[in-house]
Structure 1
Amino acid sequence: MTEHDKTETRSWLDIELEDDMDEELEQAVDDVRIPPDLRALMERHQKSTLDRHTYFRELLRLQSELVKLQDWVRFKGLKMVILFEGRDSAGKGGAIKRITQRVNPRSCRVVALPAPSDREKTQWYFQRYVPHLPAAGEIVLFDRSWYNRAGVERVMGFATDTEVEDFFRDVPEFERMLVRSGIILVKYWFSITDEEQQLRFLMRIHDPIKQWKLSPMDLQSRVRWEQYTMAKEDMFARTSIPEAPWHIVEGNDKKRARLNLISHLLSVVPYEEVPHEPVTLPDRVFNPNYERHTLPAELYVPERY
């Protein structure tokens, strides 16, 4: 390779890296947009001690390893289920976005089920989750899961005491069945402090772009903070089993939480890099008898930028 080729390659790599960082910056814009009403409060807020350069460098490195992990899961026909639970506004969604940002969406998907329908309420409790479980070579991320019964349904009174007790009796065996079937089950709980949640809720209240994230149920979670704490502690005690233990992610610092979670997830499966056949771009076939037609201007999206 000549010096000119090396320079050209470096320039293309620089361009790709800039695109990757721009994409991450677009996703991270919520972290830096501060409504005027909250500027004084944000001044007292402890900022991340992780500098942006280190965060981006490590995030991109870990995401490249996630691609290798996904290749390994597909190559070996493994099945992975990853549960994301935690306090409202604790950072589950942001972490899920970073995990799925660069992997193949055909074999890695996110499941975020709405409240159960009237029909689903009459089914076996776990029934509506089962169709979303992975086949061989797939990774499924549950943005909240069957643990709704141990949290919001219990605290808000949507489930009876008997239904909650039935859940605690059944869920360890249900998860052991999943593991016996060959599913790798990983459970994460995102933890934040009372003060941090208050700040993030205020951000959502005062920011039009974020208001959709705030539901009446979220507001009730502030009122019932201690009840959720007791429910969480009970859940850990009764459902953290050797086959599927809970893993707590400290979420006050969003950037560190994302990196710590992805790093831990990569440690769960002893993956290896899958050998790939070298890819060669074929030459384009030209038809000397074909003449490209000029399309009407009204078909094109106006170039306003």
Structure 2
Amino acid sequence: MEREFTAKEIEKLNSTKGLKSVLSKEPLNYERAIRYVNYEQKLKKLQLEIIKLQTWAINNNERIIVVFEGRDAAGKGGAIRRVTERINPRHMRIVALPKPNEDQKSQWYFQRYVEQLPKAGEMVFFDRSWYNRAVVEPVMGFCTQEEYDIFMNQVNDFERMILESGIRLVKIYMSISKKEQAKRFLDIKNNPLKQWKMTPVDDKAQELWDDYTAYKKAMFSKTNTVVSPWKVIRANRKTEARVNVINHILKSIPYDKNTVV
């Protein structure tokens, strides 16, 4: 038996966003539409706080890094878009580095990431980061055991230097289940607008799931420190994950909540 909707829920369903949500997917699902409107309302409030945080950072010459890691198709890019879509693009950057070229391969591993660190008043969001060498590279054979060991021995000191230099560092790991990853890969492959996202690395992600898990656990064991902790965000439901990501960023940085924007 279908439940009766409250007057407030009916108002949400009759809103532009509510109607769009109801009509965008089949079969009609009013509960889903209400959840979507609630999500949009939460998101709007949180994005206002992110604007305050950025304004505070600009006014106080703060430097902020937010690292996003997670398995392929975990929703890192989508979360970053929701965090950044309302803030001033002149004072933020999204960094998603391609594989290193020959010159970069000959340099200190962290060098190309150092070049991307924020200037005063800037927020930098890493869509994958130096932690490629902690998980993806060893799983896929893109680095040697020695290179991996050197990275693991240096990474905490690297982050300590970042923090001691006055840069604020937030590390987020977006976690999805194997079943959800398979579902998202299928959606990407069947959608012409998303097919470009699939890479040879993605194609092997399910096959190498356990290898990724082993290296992920080793990464957490070594780098989940008191001064530079990881925040694991459950990401099977994208909307909840995005809200939790923004909430964590806001809680991690002691910005002035009374900042005028």
Q: TM class by shorter-chain length?
A: 0.7 to 0.9
Structure 1 pair 255–119 and aligned structure 2 pair: CA distance change class (3 A): same
The alignment yields a C-alpha RMSD, in angstroms, of 2.2
| Alignment TM-score, normalising by the size of structure 2 | 0.87
Aligned pair 1:133/2:133, yes or no?
Answer: no
The one-character-per-residue Cα deviations of 1:257-290 (angstroms, maximum 9, x if unpaired) are 00011011111122223347xxxxxxxxxxxxxx
Measured in 2, the distance between the counterparts of 1:51 and 1:33 equals: 14
Aligned pair 1:103/2:87, yes or no?
Answer: yes
Shift of 1:152: 1.1
Q: Which runs of 5+ in 2 are unaligned?
A: 1-14
Shift of 1:191: 0.3
Aligned pair 1:223/2:223, yes or no?
Answer: no
Structure 1 pair 125–193 and aligned structure 2 pair: CA distance change class (3 A): same
The match for 1:192 among 176, 180, 199 is 176
The one-character-per-residue Cα deviations of 1:223-278 (angstroms, maximum 9, x if unpaired) are 100000000000000111112111101000000000011011111122223347xx
Q: What's the counterpart of residue 42 of structure 1?
A: none
| Alignment TM-score, normalising by the size of structure 1 | 0.75
Q: Secondary structure at the match of 2:66?
A: strand
The letter for the 1-side match of 2:65 is: V
The match for 2:198 among 214, 234, 237 is 214
In the TM superposition, 1:106-117 aligns within 5 A as 106-117=90-101
Q: Which runs of 5+ in 1 are unaligned?
A: 1-16, 40-46, 277-305
Measured in 2, the distance between the counterparts of 1:196 and 1:108 equals: 31
The match for 2:45 among 53, 57, 61 is 61
The one-character-per-residue Cα deviations of 1:89-124 (angstroms, maximum 9, x if unpaired) are 001010000011000011111001000001100100
Measured in 2, the distance between the counterparts of 1:195 and 1:48 equals: 21
Measured in 1, the distance between the counterparts of 2:253 and 2:189 equals: 40
The match for 2:259 among 274, 295, 299 is 274
Q: What's the counterpart of residue 205 of structure 1?
A: 189
Structure 1 pair 50–271 and aligned structure 2 pair: CA distance change class (3 A): farther
Give the % identical residues: 46
Measured in 2, the distance between the counterparts of 1:135 and 1:145 equals: 18
The letter for the 1-side match of 2:138 is: R
Q: What's the counterpart of residue 167 of structure 2?
A: 183
Structure 1 pair 275–253 and aligned structure 2 pair: CA distance change class (3 A): closer
Largest Rg, 1 or 2:
1
Q: Secondary structure at the match of 1:82?
A: strand
Contact 2:52 2:260 in 1 (8 A): no
The match for 1:78 among 40, 56, 62 is 62
Contact 1:205 1:211 in 2 (8 A): yes
Measured in 2, the distance between the counterparts of 1:275 and 1:257 equals: 28
Q: Secondary structure at the match of 1:189?
A: strand
Over 4 Å off, 4+ runs:
47-50
